[in-house]
Amino acid sequence: MRPVPNLTIPIALARHGDESLHEQIAGQVGAAIHDGLLPPQAQLPSTRSLAALLGVSRGVAIAAYELLFARGCVRSRLGSGTFVANGSAAEAPPPATTHRPVIDLRPGQPSVEAFPLPAWRAAWRRAGFRRPPAQALPALGVPPLRRAISEHFLRTKGMSLKDRQIVVTGGVAHGLSLVLEALGLCGPDVAIEEPSPAALWRVAGGPAPLPVDGFGARVGEIPARCRAAVLAADAQIPYGTVLSPERRSEAARWARETGGHVIEVACDTVLRPELSGVPRLSALVSALAGDRTVLIGGFDELFTPGIRLGYAVLPRELAAEVGRIIERRAEQPSFVTQLAMESMLRDGTVTRLTHRLGRLYARKRRLMEQLSGTVNCAVLPLPSNVDAEPIAAELLGRGLRVETLTPYHFSGLKPPPALVIGYGHLPDPLLRHALSAIAGVIADLPAPVATPVPARRRRRVWPRPAYQRWVSFDSDQSRGTGP
């Protein structure tokens, strides 16, 4: 029989204090880990044992462990218990206060609550028993994975890949770099939405900025010299807006008239209600401009950014050129990684995880209704008379790490004041605590001074499409007047 782990540090609880019981427990255990009183790999008591030792309910103990897990202090092992994470004491920065470790609210982090750990382990175990190939991997990727991705597209998106090829890539940014190199395009020859994740605009090497508004990218403002436009049609990052049907048609006409390529960044996390009845951008471009559309995506949002596995759906000639680049670079995900993903696509793990994330994010979005919600992150506009960077620094001093729009802008223009908040990866108690703290800081901000606008300068207000939620923009450069 395994020995039952005991608590080796003192924990003092203030039953009538301002701080909740689970926050006190998590703060004191986190401080002990940081000070080295609990070494790496030390096993902590179960939630039932901890509740009995401290005289609290089991729900309080579970909430405390969820806080520690979200802060990276502990790790759980299925069937074994909860352990101090490796390197927590040595690598973690000192908390802002003794009982307030930093809560990371930056977007792009996977959801621990929904992660299918048993299916993940089973897929890797099955892949590990497969005999590795005697020769180098195919340039376009392992055929079983490419077939599984094709079947997944047909089953979940209704997409037929006739006369097109699937290329396995190392993620969205890697796929974009391969496509742009195969097309011989870079810099101002490529238009990318602004704001966009830095990983995308950096691989393009100084692209032309394409403004966005509440209807998505302003396709009509693509510069004349551009021969490729990178569009996140189903969920603009970070605002999450959906490209309107009119602008999708406009993008298809641009590809036909200019001979340019439309590179669509797929949104693979959750099927959003806003997309119901909206035509697919790839289908429109293919119908009007032929082989002028490319779809790139990845599985990072579903599982973890560390998996570094994605795909590109390309015309056959372009796929052949991309394959030659992959061979020359020797850049391809490992054989075992590709087989593990193929297994999870075929056994339904990817589909089940997608639906589970949909339910999970819907619940968390309800907590974000007073802010501004998207699939897995939110942009919270600030008053136009404040600077977002000091606000982010103040929140960091209170134990909350958030982003501003600065990393998403690349044109040199000052971005509008806003905070970018990721919430899909946080447990509900931790999310409520973080939102309450953010709301308190924003409530103390000075109100902007209202300036009267002459009647002749008033903008025409267009009706909002039924399928799309409006996202507020606080700068003239980001505010559109309609499709």
Residue range 296-330, pLDDT digits in tens: 999 988 888 888 999 999 999 999 999 999 999 88
Distance in angstroms (rounded) separating the CA atoms of residues 52 and 56: 7
Lowest mean pLDDT among 191-205, 214-228, 247-261, 464-478: 464-478
Q: What is the CA radius of gyration of the chain?
A: 24
List 262's β-bridge partners, or say none: 229, 293
Better-scored residue on pLDDT, 289 or 176: 176
Pick from 280, 205, 207, 206: nearest CA to 249: 280
Q: Which contacts (CB < 8 Å, 24+ apart) does range 180-185 have?
A: 180/204, 180/228, 181/325, 182/318, 182/321, 182/322, 182/325, 183/227, 183/228, 183/261, 183/318, 185/227, 185/228
Give the span between the Cα atoms of 170 and 331, in whole angstroms.
8
Mean pLDDT along residues 45-68: 87
Q: Is the pLDDT of residue 117 over 90?
A: no
Percent of the chain with pLDDT over 90: 39
What percent of the chain has a predicted confidence (pLDDT) above 70? 84
> What CATH number labels 21-98?
1.10.10.10
At residue 4, does pLDDT exceed 70? no
| Residue ranges of domains in the chain | 21-98, 118-349, 357-448+464-474
Nearest to 347 by CA among 196, 139, 122, 25: 122
- What is the structure's pLDDT at 430? 83
Judge: domain 118-349, CATH 3.40.50.300: no
| Predicted pLDDT at 279 | 80
Neighbours of 78 (CB within 10 A): 8
Cβ(120)–Cβ(148) below 8 Å: no
pLDDT at 246 over 80: yes
Supply the pLDDT for residue 389.
93
Tokens 């600065």 sit at which residue?
406
CATH topology of domain 357-448+464-474: Aspartate Aminotransferase, domain 1 (3.90.1150)
56, pLDDT greater than 80: yes
Average pLDDT taken over every residue of the chain: 83
- Quote the pTM value: 0.72
For the segment 110-135, the average pLDDT, to the nearest whole number, is: 87
